[in-house]
Amino acid sequence: MTLRPMAVSFYSIVVPAHDMPALARFWCQVLDWRVLYESDDEIVVGADEHAYPGLCFVAEGERKTAHNRLHIDLAPDDQEAEVERILALGARHADVGQGDDVSWVVLADPEGNEFCVLSPKKSLVE
């Protein structure tokens, strides 16, 4: 089997948002990213214009009403400190059925999109 060069790359995760500017600002603060593109119907945020993937917020008139089928996992150096920092930015704790014995913390952004703050991981390239 011959492998061909990759013709596709992971560009962004699209997030429907009721208040695009507020949600984009929240995620920029969480990830220390910046707004890369902004129009009336979308806002793209990322580490910089050459780093992928990014997050693309698109206008959505309705509020979120169901559990996310896709979510973001964040890998902190210090889970407890990051959870407290992110809560102070406007996140809240979320229950998606996780038990008390899990090593991650489930939070929701200001529009209710769930995400996880993982326990610190050892580097894979030590």
The CATH architecture one would assign to domain 10-62 is: 2-Layer Sandwich (3.30)
Domain range summary for the chain, segments of one domain joined by +: 10-62, 71-126
Which residues have CB under 8 Å from 109's CB, separation 6+?
23, 26, 27, 90, 91, 115
Tens of pLDDT, residue by residue, the chain (126 residues) = 677 776 788 889 999 999 999 999 999 999 999 999 999 999 999 999 888 889 999 998 776 666 667 889 999 999 999 999 999 999 999 987 788 888 889 999 999 999 999 998 764 444
Ramachandran quadrant class, 73 (left: phi over 0; alpha: psi -120 to 50; beta: rest): beta
Predicted TM-score (pTM) of this structure: 0.82
71-126, what's its fold? 2,3-Dihydroxybiphenyl 1,2-Dioxygenase; domain 1 (3.10.180)
Amino acid symbol at 103: S
pLDDT of residue 6: 67
